[in-house]
Amino acid sequence: MKTHLNRRALLQGLGTVGIGLPLLEEMITTNALGAAPAKVPVRAFNVFFGLGIPSPLQTEGFDDVLEPLQPLSKKLLIMRNVDHVRCDVRGINAHFDGATASFTAQPAGGEAKAGGPSIDQMVRHAHHPNGLPAGMVPTLVAGTFFRRSRVGRYHHSYTLDGTVAARMQEKPRDLFDRVFGTLANANDADARAQRLKRSVLDSVVDQYRFYTGPNSPLGAASKGRVKDHLDRIREFEQRAFALPHKNGQGPALPPRSVIPHGGPADPGGEGIDITLEELTTEWRLLADLYALAIEMDRVRFGSLTFLAAGERIRLKGKYEYNGRTRYEFDDAAEHRRSGSGGCSHEWWHKFNEKRDNKQLRAHVHMKMNEIAYFMKRLDATKEANGRSILENSLLTISTESGDGRHNDVKRELSGVFHAVTGANGRIQTGQIMDVKAEGLDVYNTMLTAMGSKKHLGPDKRKHQPVEKIRA
């Protein structure tokens, strides 16, 4: 008789270690066992990228800046002409109010607070009003960014009262610990010392041997998947902590990240110098870890940020796409300016429909490529219903503005780019759509499709469902 294994099965270790298993044959209940097929969990994630995509460039479809999204086009609904004008906060600009409106569709409630909840948290409370199953990370918030000041620039998951839903995880090794746990209940110094000597997998070795040994309830194929799965976790751990494969006299301390995490990053708003390799290497490790957390069913809700709203970086390096050099970045040299005047941010303020805008186009193309990297990681894993994690999840991808010029709020906060995944057949996919609707109505339509009985925005406002986005 076929053994059934709970989808939430964990390899439980010392301290807070909890290693989820991949989807195995034994987790998929069949009618032969007298039960319905395993259900795919409801998930919702907000994916943010900074600075936006000028509306005229969005009309070009996949011919230029949206090119990296084309391989995923059948699994996406790309929405143009989404209006966030109601979210204008007088005296500020879209880098803050537009960013805070992303995934909330409401004006900011303060410098560290949104005007209401975000999409992911609305879905979370609709399906888990009493909390998620034990052992899960309730909400996972992560990102690679350097612009701080107001929290809405980089944080994109908010609870029902508009406060941040979880602490931001910027460093890959901190994200690893948040998802997979720490080795022991000890003080920070002791825990760090232990981590340098051991893997989190060390404390689950006995359970690993059981699941892969002769008395295992798993078949040969599943045994192989467990082994490959734990090997991959170990690979990511080594990358996140810079641990060598061989432990001679003990590994050296992990090197400090070249990325300026935490503290006064980008002091004074003058920007930072960074290479494309530095940026993408760290972002992709973060994206890999986040995707793995979803695959292991350790997290179902949260947000991921690739560069903050109004981001000021002076990027340098060769950008290659599909085997060809797409562009060679050297922001400061091309601007012929230092400080904030030599940053990526300035390309958006220099946008002109009558010019080629080659630098801005290259930056946007690169951002779409990195967002696509994360989505492809989720698309690589199939679930019990035959669809990928990407297809089964609600991913809302957005940004802060549709133009880039501070002198025209209506242009800044209208035409904001959005892309949405199908959420297991709930949302229409496979097209680029001019929705011509207010973000509040778009978001509430999505929430209704996801089973939420609550809506965003004022109770007295008459809501206009955008039914054409529903499947």
User: Distance between alpha carbon 286 and the CA centroid of its chain, in Å?
Assistant: 9
**Would you give the end-to-end CA distance of the chain in angstroms?**
39
Residue type, 134: A
Decide which of 410 and 334 is more confident.
Answer: 334
The DSSP letter of residue 388 is B
Q: What is the mean pLDDT of the chain?
A: 83
* pLDDT class of 94 with cuts at 50, 70, 90: confident
Whether residue 116 has pLDDT greater than 80: yes
Element housing 108 (H / E): none
| Separation between Cα atoms, residue 170 and residue 184, nearest integer Å | 22
Beta carbons within 8 Å of 193's beta carbon, 6+ residues apart: none
Task: Give the model's pLDDT for residue 201.
Answer: 54
Residue 233 near residue 19, CB atoms below 8 Å: yes
Band of residue 193 on the pLDDT scale cut at 50, 70, 90: very low
Q: Which residue has the tokens 């005229």?
A: 56
| DSSP H or E stretch at residue 432 | strand 431-438
CA dist 269 → 177, 252, 278, 294, 344 (Å):
30, 34, 20, 34, 12
Of the candidate ranges 4-8, 179-183, 313-317, the one whose mean pLDDT is the lowest: 4-8
As to burial, measured by CB atoms within 10 angstroms (0-12 exposed, 13-18 middle, 19+ buried), residue 183 is buried
Distance from C-alpha of 233 to C-alpha of 397, rounded to nearest angstrom? 27
Mean pLDDT of 10-16: 49
Q: Which one is predicted more confidently, 176 or 35?
A: 176
- pLDDT tens, position by position, 393-423: 999 999 999 976 666 777 789 999 999 999 9
Q: Which phi and psi angles does 423 have, rounded to 5°? A: 55, 50
**Spatial distance between the Cα atoms of 196 and 437, rounded to a whole number of angstroms:** 52
- Buried-exposed string 130-148: b where 16+ CB fall within 10 A, e elsewhere: eebeeebbebbbbbbbbbb
| CA angle at 277 for the pair 264 and 289, rounded to the nearest 5° | 75
CB 353 within 8 A of CB 55: no
Residue 174 has pLDDT above 50, yes or no: yes
Residue range(s) occupied by CATH 3.40.720.10 in the chain? 42-171+260-469
CB 85 within 8 A of CB 95: no
Distance in angstroms (rounded) separating the CA atoms of residues 466 and 453:
16
Q: Is the pLDDT of residue 204 over 70?
A: no
Per-residue model confidence (pLDDT) at position 172: 81
CB 120 within 8 A of CB 140: no
Percent of the chain clearing pLDDT 70 (strictly above): 72
Q: Which tops the pLDDT comparison, 128 or 245?
A: 128
Residue 256's pLDDT is 46
Reading the block at residue 206, the tokens are 């006995």
CATH homologous superfamily of 42-171+260-469:
Alkaline Phosphatase, subunit A (3.40.720.10)
The mean per-residue pLDDT over the stretch 294-317 comes to 93
- Reported as a pLDDT band with limits 50, 70 and 90, residue 431 is very high
Residue 62 pLDDT level (bands cut at 50, 70, 90): very high
pTM score, two decimals?
0.83
Q: Which residue has the higher pLDDT, 445 or 385?
A: 445
| DSSP codes joined into one string, 222-265 | HHHHHHHHHHHHHHHHHHHHT--SS-SS-PPPPPPPSS--SSSS
